[in-house]
Structures are given as structure tokens and as C-alpha cells.
């Protein structure tokens, strides 16, 4: 039995597709995984070696609840180097991934009946973090015409007395698009707390990702090591918040999580200090794969209105596959399941990211070029048989 706000949570459909794909693999099927945002690279050796050193040196105890000081100092140095922004280590909370950071932050900012504004479409789990606090997710339509990013004028029309935050993501999941400096400035000027999820910074192929901290010191920024450092399983991220929020965030961290994983923190410090070359190499590979996937999808008739500039996703309009089918799947989830079963390709259904992405499929190109080319070939055969 689910009680309270837990009853308001919805499944993460990309994970549901992954779990179904794993069932098929257990029966001997070969599945190409383009459904989940999981880098296919191994964690760089310098990071793994740092973890082994920490283990050998016995650094396995609880740490400071905010995180080890060298790591917080390293994160502050990163913001000064990359963005020209001064951040105090006392404003940095190291967490068990950015998911834990979001849970703490929205639990602090929101209560029953409050509101948080996000884009539609947006990362599937945002709504559930918001709903868990008792707040409501107010979606602002942000389709291809808006580059899948929320515009300040539309957001302004939705800001009310119970609006506690505006949550943005650049580069975005699911579309890989960027918010420009002036767009961020407009959103920051609206009054509610601007919360910027910057987990895909460092994976940008066109233009430049702007940190919200370049616009205002009074915003909150989420980031971490999972994506650009290929450290998804290490579960280490961070939250930067205004000083006035830090005492409450630290108290919550002490009570709910105590601290982030100690070994992962020392590994993350090595990532900041030593892994730049590996990050550049991974980003170059993603950039090449992006072009291969875009060309392949367009050859199959998919419309891609907003070219992804970062992250490792393409949000492709698949409505031609629904409209032209006779007795076939009627929505993006049914289509993704049908493609998985019949073509052996795992894809995330657009509806996972909000009503604005229904009729779309999200493709993740954090997979080898060979896998991407084979996925396109399988999709071509699937469409020949079914469309």
C-alpha cells in the first residue's frame, strides 16, 4: 500500500524499458541500449586508482556532512576556472548523486500546495521529486519552436503566490538543447528561486553552456560526476546554494544521509584534478556519434526540429510511425515497447518527459558508433515490416 505523497509518484519509464530489455537479454536476445543515459566508457583509470588509494589508506569513515574539504575546495576552484565565479566551499554540499541533492533541496523549498515550474518536456524524475514534497509541478510548454527550453515570458505568466522555484536544465534531457545567457537572466529575474541542473556541463558540442551562477549568486546549481566522468555508479554529485540555505540543507544531510560515500568523494577529487584529457576524449566521441545518429534518424524520416548541442540525447519526432500504422501502437510508450520486442532496440518513450514530448522517442548516443549504426539498420527493417 502506498501512502501520502508516495501515491502521487509515477514510474520512470526509461528504467522500465531498460528492465524489460534486461528480461529479453536473459532469454538470449541481443538488445542495443539507447534508452538510458549511461556512458558506455569505463571510469578513467586515474579516478579508479584514487579510489583504491583511499581504500588502502583506510579513508572509509564518515566524512564532514558537507563533504570532504579538499573536494569542496576543488569544486569551488572549478567554478572559478570554468565560469569566473567565486563560490565558497561552505556553499557546496556533496551528495550521493544529484538525485539526493534534488530531494534535499525541494524538501527545503517546497511544502504542500506549493509549485515548481519546469519545461514540458523535461527530465522524467523532476515531477516526482516535486510531488514527493506535496508541491505541484507546473509545466510550461517548450516545444521545438522554443528549442525545448522555457521562455521567460511564458514562465512569468505561470508564476504565482505559491511558486517556490523555476527548475531549468541546460544542456537538457531529453533534447540536449542549451539556455543562453539572456534567457537565464530573464528567468532569474522573475522572483522564485532559480534551480539550474547542470549535470551535462562539459558535454557540449556547439556553443557554450552558461552556469546560472554567472547570472546570479542567489540561485541553486546541481551538478555531479556521473555523466562527463563516466561515474554513474559512484553516486557522487553536488549542490551549490546561497549561504542562507546551507544550515538547513546541512541539517537535513546529517539526518537523512549523514554524508556522501567517502571513497567516491576521494575518487571525485581525482576526477577534478586529473581527468580533463579523458573527459575531452569522451566528449569528442559523443560529438561524432551524435552526427552519425542524426544522419541515420533523418534517413528514416524522423523529424528533429532542435539540433542537440550537448548532453547525449536526441529527441526525435516519431509521429509518422504512429500515424501510418494500421492496428499498431497508438502512443510513444507502446511504440517503444514494440520496437524493443520486434527490433531489439531500447528507446525512451517521449511521454516519460511530459505531455509535450508525446509522439517522440528519445535516443541516447552514449553507445558505440557500431551500436548506433546497427540500431538504425534494425529500425529500418522494423519500419519496412510495420509502417
pLDDT digits (tens, 9 = 90+) for 174-203: 999 999 999 999 999 999 999 999 999 999
Q: Classify residue 51: in a domain, yes or no.
A: no
267 shares its domain with 294: no
Identify which has the larger pLDDT, 8 or 63.
Answer: 63
With cell 572559478, the residue in question is: 80
Q: Dump pLDDT digits (tens) for 54-86.
A: 999 999 999 999 999 999 999 999 999 999 999
Q: Classify residue 105: in a domain, yes or no.
A: yes
Q: Classify residue 344: in a domain, yes or no.
A: yes
Q: How many domains does the chain have?
A: 2
- Residue 161's domain comprises 58-275
The model's confidence at residue 1, banded by pLDDT at 50, 70 and 90, is very low
Task: Report how far residue 89's alpha carbon sits from residue 162's, in angstroms, rounded to the nearest whole number.
Answer: 31
Q: Classify residue 52: in a domain, yes or no.
A: no
User: For position 88, which CATH number holds?
Assistant: 3.40.640.10
32 shares its domain with 161: no
Q: Report the candidate in 100, 18, 19, 125 with the shortest Cα–Cα distance to residue 353.
A: 125
User: For position 306, which CATH number holds?
Assistant: 3.90.1150.10
Bridge partner list, 204: 310
Q: Classify residue 53: in a domain, yes or no.
A: no
Specify the length of the chain in residues: 387
- Whether the model clears a pTM of 0.85, i.e. scores above it, the answer is yes
159 shares its domain with 251: yes
Amino acid at each position: 500500500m502506498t501512502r501520502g505523497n508516495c501515491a502521487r509518484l509515477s514510474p520512470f519509464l526509461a528504467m522500465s524499458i531498460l528492465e524489460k530489455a534486461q528480461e529479453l537479454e536473459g532469454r538470449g536476445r541481443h538488445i542495443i541500449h539507447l534508452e538510458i543515459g549511461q556512458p558506455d566508457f569505463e571510469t578513467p583509470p586515474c579516478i579508479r586508482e584514487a579510489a583504491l588509494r583511499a581504500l588502502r589508506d583506510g579513508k572509509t569513515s564518515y566524512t564532514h556532512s558537507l563533504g570532504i574539504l579538499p573536494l569542496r575546495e576543488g569544486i569551488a576552484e572549478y567554478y572559478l576556472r570554468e565560469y569566473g565565479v567565486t563560490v565558497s566551499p561552505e556553499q557546496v554540499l556533496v551528495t550521493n548523486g544529484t538525485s539526493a541533492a534534488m530531494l534535499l533541496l525541494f524538501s527545503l523549498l517546497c511544502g504542500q500546495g506549493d509549485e515548481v515550474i519546469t519545461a514540458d518536456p523535461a527530465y522524467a524524475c523532476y515531477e516526482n521529486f516535486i510531488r514527493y514534497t506535496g508541491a505541484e509541478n507546473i509545466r510550461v510548454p517548450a516545444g521545438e519552436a522554443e528549442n525545448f527550453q522555457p521562455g521567460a515570458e511564458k514562465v512569468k505568466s505561470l508564476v504565482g503566490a505559491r511558486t517556490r522555484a523555476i527548475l531549468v536544465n541546460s544542456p537538457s534531457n531529453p533534447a540536449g538543447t542549451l539556455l543562453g545567457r539572456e534567457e537565464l537572466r530573464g528567468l532569474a529575474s522573475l522572483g522564485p528561486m532559480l534551480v539550474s541542473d547542470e549535470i551535462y556541463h562539459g558535454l557540449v558540442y556547439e556553443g557554450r553552456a552558461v552556469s546560472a551562477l554567472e547570472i546570479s549568486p542567489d540561485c541553486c546549481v546541481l551538478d555531479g560526476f556521473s555523466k562527463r566522468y563516466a561515474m554513474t555508479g559512484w553516486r557522487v554529485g553536488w549542490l551549490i546554494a546561497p549561504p542562507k540555505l546551507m544550515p538547513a540543507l546541512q541539517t537535513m544531510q546529517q539526518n537523512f544521509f549523514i554524508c556522501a560515500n567517502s571513497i567516491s568523494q576521494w575518487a571525485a577529487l581525482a576526477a577534478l584534478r586529473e581527468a580533463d584529457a579523458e573527459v575531452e576524449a569522451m566528449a569528442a566521441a559523443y560529438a561524432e556519434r551524435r552526427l552519425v545518429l542524426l544522419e541515420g534518424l533523418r534517413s528514416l524520416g524522423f523529424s528533429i526540429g532542435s539540433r542537440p548541442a550537448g548532453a547525449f540525447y536526441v529527441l526525435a519526432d516519431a509521429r509518422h510511425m504512429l500515424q501510418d500504422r494500421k492496428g499498431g501502437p497508438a502512443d510513444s510508450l507502446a511504440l517503444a515497447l514494440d520496437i524493443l520486442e520486434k527490433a531489439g532496440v531500447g528507446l525512451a518513450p517521449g511521454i516519460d518527459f511530459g505531455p509535450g514530448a508525446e509522439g517522440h522517442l528519445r535516443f541516447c548516443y552514449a553507445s558505440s558508433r557500431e551500436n548506433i549504426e546497427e540500431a538504425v539498420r534494425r529500425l529500418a527493417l522494423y519500419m519496412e515490416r510495420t509502417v
